[in-house]
Amino acid sequence: MNNYIVKSNVNIAKDVYKMILEGDVSKITSPGQFINIAIDGLYLRRPISVCDIDEKTITVIYKVVGEGTLKMSNMKEGTVLDCLTGLGNGFSTQIKDDQSKPLLIGGGVGTPPLYMLAKKLLKEGKQPKVILGFASKEDCFYEEEYKALGLEVEIMTANGSYGSKGFVTNAKLFTDKDYDYVYTCGPIPMLKAIYDNSEVSGQFSFEERMGCGFGACMGCSCKTKYGNKRICKDGPVLVKEEIIW
């Protein structure tokens, strides 16, 4: 029931891989959700955000940061994986009608979930703009995929080796303030900088070390202005107004 077959698993940037899994996609109901993958030889599952889905496949993009993702990067086509899918409270596009110019800001491997979001926003008649931030040129990925959707994309690299030099908050699309809502996913310092420097509302996707990934163990709790929340179940997406840093 929870079995998925690896259809492809390719390196797309430094330590970054794109894996396509075939299986039931029916539980994935919004962008920003994640899947939790059981990996042979490791006790805990590995939560990975969903980049895109179609009728029968799930695309995930992950960076090799530890033992689990290293094992994933070595998985061959045809490998069968036990995955729990449709986990987490993803991005909501049901925001006020007068918010029609969303800005999507992704940092590193925080960029993938914004891709599915961008497609959904487009489908709903909104025209999002996209800022993608990376450490350097060798870390960059998915620029073309976002552009293929017909979106304006600005790339920032910390060392200036590609796109413009600086952080996402230095991007022209960010500083010109021609947006009325922000969706973002990436490292905490980036999220904090966006929170501090944007005047509009938005949704922020967080990361935390998880136990179960489905709300049972309280391993990934955080405090918010709306009460205690579990990053895996009530998050990973929180609205700007509730966040406590």
Partner 1 sequence: MVNTKVNLCGITIDNPIIPASGCFGYGKEFSEFYDINILGTFSFKGTTKEPRFGNPTPRIAETPSGMINSVGLQNPGVDTVISRELKEMPEYFNKKVMANISGFSQEEYVYCVERISREDQVGWIEVNISCPNVHGGGMSFGVNPDSAYEITKAVREVSNKPIIIKLSPNVTDIAAIAKACEDGGADGISLINTILSMRIDIAKRKPILANTFGGLSGSCVLPVALRMVYQVYNAVKIPIIGMGGITTAKDVIEMMLAGATAVQVGAANLVNPYACKEIIEELPLVMEKHKINNLEDIIGGAH
Stretch that binds partner 1, among 37-45, 97-105, 154-162, 167-175 (CB under 8 A): 37-45
84-103 residues in contact with partner 1 (CB under 8 A) are: 84
Task: Give the span between the Cα atoms of 23 and 75, in whole angstroms.
Answer: 17
Task: Give the span between the Cα atoms of 126 and 228, in whole angstroms.
Answer: 32
In the complex, minimum distance from the CB of residue 217 to partner 1, in angstroms, rounded to a whole number: 5
Stretch that binds partner 1, among 14-22, 104-112, 180-188, 206-214 (CB under 8 A): 206-214
* Residue 40 makes contact with partner 1 by CB under 8 A: no
Task: Give the span between the Cα atoms of 199 and 96, in whole angstroms.
Answer: 16
* Residue 45 makes contact with partner 1 by CB under 8 A: yes
In the complex, minimum distance from the CB of residue 199 to partner 1, in angstroms, rounded to a whole number: 29
* Residue 217 makes contact with partner 1 by CB under 8 A: yes
* Residue 187 makes contact with partner 1 by CB under 8 A: no
Question: Which residues, 6+ apart, have CB-to-CB distance to 94 below 8 Å?
Answer: none
Question: Burial, 2: exposed, middle or buried (Cβ in 10 Å; 0-12, 13-18, 19+)?
Answer: middle
Task: Give the span between the Cα atoms of 195 and 242, in whole angstroms.
Answer: 11
Q: List interacting residues with partner 1 (CB under 8 A).
A: 38, 42-45, 84, 208-212, 214-223, 228, 233
